[in-house]
Amino acid sequence: MKEFKGRVVTPGTASAEAVVTHGGFNTLASLQKSLQFGDKKATCNDQNNPDLYGKPLAGYALCLPQTIGSTTGGMVLYCACAMKRQPACMLFSNKIDSLAAAGAILADVWLDDITMPVVDSLGEEFLNYVKDGMKITIKEDGVVVVD
């Protein structure tokens, strides 16, 4: 077990199994088919992300360095939350980008029954340590426990 301290972007607690990418997460390419065609598992469809391609994202602790891609990324993330197909939480090794932050914050403010805690600035050590399938627990203060 190891603990990492980050900055809380959207508050909350969560406990979920990790799914990890070491490359940038393209929100649109990853979630578009799920949102269009009703895949409740939110299977990642970004063929350019070999770490995540074909893996379910809904309900998992998404561990990533940053998001990449188009300016629709924030809206796609918000829509995933509105459709209850979002990751259990998002854990960024780097500082969150403005588009992902906008989507997560809007979902937190506008959607009453949705929680998706987001913590950033966890550091490169976090991303090197965490592996798919590890149990992740997020505390209110931005401490992330990896078992």
Cα-Cα-Cα-Cα dihedral sign, residues 85, 42, 39, 55: negative
pLDDT at 70: 86
What is the domain range of residue 48? 2-146
- Cα–Cα distance for residue pair 64/96, rounded to 1 Å: 10
Confidence check: pLDDT of 37 > 90? yes
Give the pLDDT confidence of 14-27 residue by residue, as tens digits: 999 999 999 999 99
Alpha-carbon distance values, 69 to 12, 72, 97, 125, 127 (Å): 26, 8, 11, 25, 20
Of 42, 45, 119, nearest to 87 by C-alpha is 42
pLDDT of residue 103: 97
For residue 71, give the CATH number of its domain: 3.50.30.10
pLDDT at residue 9 in the model: 98
pLDDT band per the 50, 70, 90 thresholds, residue 144: very high
Residue 16, beta-bridge partner list: 136
Q: Structurally, how many domains does the chain consist of?
A: 1
Half-sphere exposure of residue 114, counting CA atoms within 13 Å on the CB side?
A: 26
Residue written as tokens 């550091």?
A: 123
Average pLDDT over residues 126-146: 98
Question: What mean pLDDT is predicted for residues 116-129?
Answer: 98
Give the mean pLDDT of 54-59: 98
Per-residue pLDDT of 68-118, as tens digits, reads 988 999 999 999 999 999 999 999 999 999 999 999 999 999 999 999 999
**What pTM value is reported for the model?**
0.97
